[in-house]
A and B are shown apart, each in its own frame.
Chain A
Amino acid sequence: MIAQYRDFWLGLVGVLTALAIWAVYPLDKKLNLGLDLQGGVHLVYEVKKEQLPPNTTLLDAVDRAIEIIRNRVDALGVAEPVIQRQGEGWIVIQLPGMKDPQKAKDLIGTTALLEFKLVSEKPMDDYTNSKTGEADPKKMPADLEIVPGRDPTERYLIEKAQLMTGAALADANPTTGDMAAVVVSFRMTPEGSRAFSDLTGRHINRRLAIILDNKVFSAPVIRSRISGHGQIEGRFTWEEARNLALILRAGALPAPVQLINEEVVGPSLGRDSIDRGMKSAIVGAALVLGWMAFYYRLSGVIADVALVLNFLFLLALMAINRATLTLPGIAGILLTLGMSVDGNVLIFERIREELRSGKTVRAAIDAGYQRALRTIIDSHVTTLITAGILFYFGSGPIRGFAFTLFWGVTISLFTAIVVSRAIFEMRKQYESLSI
């Protein structure tokens, strides 16, 4: 088939090469680097099943949490964040190029449930264990609870009924309050405003606790009916106040989340991995290309051309699919270089054998390609099977490896058989073969 339509195949290879070059140029813009190479933060959070709000399924809670985390992450200014569900209750967050993992974790991991509750007027001592000062479950009525303050030594006796939540907030911003203290001031939505005004009107002279994630931040006395705005005090630094305001604007998570997996690659480590990956790739490729040219002479050089095209096509495929190049992916590319040249080795050895048995160049080339074909395909099928399995079960870096392995080997079937064959067809007229 290739023998008959040599010029068609050569033309096709030319067109594909041009397309591939167009697809990968410029390489640094077209190739998607994994977090392990470009640096960044990979976090996995688990939504706590036990603390779901009533009438909410885990699935709904995770969906809402993803939406809210996306709002918060947008404020980080990361170029292409990935936020997605994994399994039932896990959320995967990838922040390429993020240099401050602590800030990311503070922003994402905070539940930010803001509640307004009344401080009880009853004496706290009636409900606590006189020795430890802790809540005494035997004495505590169902509608009361003891909530710690932001300063861990403080305790408040709080009426459990939730009067309002942060859902009524329209906006929040850091500002400077009394005596130059940094506070977070908030403004409510019109409905929130009406409700707040109503509730403060009903409870004049009572203390209103502003509770964030089950800590009382402040508990001012209601002097008059207030509508629409207020502030959260808490001895913040400006940075803390800004982050809290940001989280309040983005909304509370439906349930607390717990960090269960963290991978941070700093910029210097990523740079180091890229450098080492490049160096090992260049040396490895040079060894293979050099050996082929040395051992099979001109035929080896043709195999080298096929190998370079194989590499180019693989990069193009990665660019088109927006596949991610990872550190194991680089290893995969190197491995496929070695595996794909195997095809040409089998063909060349067969041609040598046929020539030794006295066949003409023309017949030897035909027989070499024909007889080796079945062996080449057979020997690669199982590699494709494992690459497919690794792609299906693996994640992140392993997936990068599986992708390069699968497509590298598949493309090699084309380059080692079609590309090198088409070039060999031009050599059929010679008396002897440099092989």
Chain B
Amino acid sequence: MAHYELLGWKKTDWDFVGKRYIAFGFSACLLVVGAIAMVRIGTGKAKLAIDFSGGQAIQAGIEGPVDLDKVRGAFSARGLSDVQVQQATVQKGQRLLIKLRGAEMSSTTAVGTGGEMVRGILVGALPGATVVIEGVQAVGPAVGRRLQEQAMWAVIWAIVLIMVYIWIRFEYRFGLAAAVATLHDVIAVLGIMWLIGADFSLLIVTALLTLAGYSLTDTVVVYDRIRENLRLHPAESFEVNVNRSINEVLSRTLVTSLMVLLPLISLLIYGSPVTFDFSLSLSFGVIVGTYSSWYVASPLIVEWENYRRRRAAEAAANRMAGRQ
């Protein structure tokens, strides 16, 4: 049996297709988590970020000592109990990120007043410190609803158009498996992000859509090779050809994924906190996408082919039986 080069050092002849049932089990777990996440989001029980839920996020730069307990106490003294306070050390002193959720906001503070209110509370709670409001994000409920609606339409259109493209571009068995793999990647990453407790924001939806578009990359590379090998080695079994194809293109699948992963890791480490969840979702997406091109997209067409052959054999047997 032929051997193939992996990253220039080692030759591989790994049996991807043979391990497909382990992979199917793992993928099923990912999909279940993703499905739970979707239900939680759909029923409004998942944590939504301010841009969807409405509310205010205020970033305050503070020079001087910061006592978080005092800060939290000062907010609850003002009747604001559902307040999230995060602290980060920056070049000049500290930065506090204060989040007021939807319900809190509508009852106590209107859009446009949050910055001044938070400044007042912080000045009172931290005597001797200078407080500067560096950033404010305040989203009224109508705006949150509009963004939710836009995100929903974007997701629907992306799914529809990508599926249409796959349907036009691939023959039936490949297209079906590619579509399943794409949905698998998006749902899996959604589940992972939910599991690690991320607030769902517009940027996470953006990352998931980008993933839906990117996920096909590795799959296309493997599929093109499978078709080529089916032509070159028609005598060999379908399974052997699929395995051969994955191994042959292994190094390019790994390198292309790595090339997208490296900039994302740089964004995670050095980038702005604003794009952190975005980069994290996409990093998971690239990894899951590579995995699914080996263990979901390819084994699925093997399953489909096996099923088709069984049906053909049964039909032939029936015909034989009918003739006798």
Contact = CB atoms under 8 A, between A and B. Distances in A.
A357 B134 CA distance: 61
Interface in B63-95: 90, 92
B111 A382 contact: no
A331 B267 contact: yes
B135 A266 contact: yes
A261 B274 contact: no
B299 interface: no
A334 B266 CA distance: 9
A382 B255 contact: no
Nearest to B164: A385
B209 interface: yes
A44 B143 CA distance: 9
Classify the secondary structure of B's interface with A. helix
Identify which of A283, A328, A382, A405 gathers the most chain B CB atoms within 10 Å of its CB.
Answer: A382
B256 interface: yes
Interface residues on A, range: 35 or more
Interface in A158-217: none
A287 B212 contact: no
Interface string B194-228: 00000000110010011011111110110010000
A401 interface: yes
Given A291-B262, A331-B279, A346 B221 contact: yes
B6 to A, nearest CB: 11
Given A261-B140, A284-B263, A393-B150, A381 B165 contact: yes
B215 to A, nearest CB: 8
A305 to B, nearest CB: 16
B158 A398 contact: no
A102 B116 contact: yes
B165 A382 contact: yes
Interface string A373-400: 0110011111111110110111100100
Nearest to B211: A386
B126 interface: no
Contact of A259 (B59, B110, B214, B217): B110
A264 B115 CA distance: 9
B294 to A, nearest CB: 16
Interface stretch (A57-65, A123-131, A229-237, A267-275): A267-275
A101 B138 CA distance: 13
Contact of A46 (B7, B142, B169, B216): B142
A164 to B, nearest CB: 31
Contact of B270 (A276, A292, A356): A276
Interface stretch (A7-15, A25-33, A335-343, A424-432): A335-343
A43 B217 CA distance: 39
A261 B139 CA distance: 5
A342 B249 CA distance: 13
A383 B210 contact: yes
Contacts of B210: 335, 383, 386-387, 390, 405
Nearest to A334: B263
Contacts of A356: 5
B111 A266 contact: no
Nearest to B218: A379
Interface in A204-259: 259
Contacts of B36: none
A259 B213 contact: no
A265 B111 contact: no
Nearest to B149: A393
A432 B272 CA distance: 45
Contacts of B249: 349
Contacts of B134: 265-266, 268-269
A103 interface: no
Given A276-B271, A291-B258, A331-B267, A382 B154 contact: no
A380 B256 CA distance: 13
Given A259-B140, A263-B136, A389-B209, 9 more contacts: A268-B132, A273-B272, A279-B271, A285-B263, A339-B260, A378-B169, A385-B158, A385-B165, A390-B154
Interface of B: 5, 7-8, 59, 61, 90, 92, 110-112, 114-116, 132-140, 142-143, 146, 150-151, 153-154, 157-158, 161-162, 165-166, 169, 202-203, 206, 209-210, 212-218, 220-221, 224, 248-249, 251-252, 255-256, 258-267, 269-272, 274-275, 278-279, 282
28 contacts: A101-B115, A101-B136, A260-B111, A260-B139, A263-B138, A269-B59, A277-B272, A279-B270, A280-B270, A280-B271, A287-B262, A291-B262, A327-B274, A328-B274, A328-B278, A330-B275, A331-B267, A331-B275, A331-B278, A335-B260, A339-B217, A353-B248, A379-B217, A380-B217, A381-B169, A382-B162, A382-B165, A386-B213
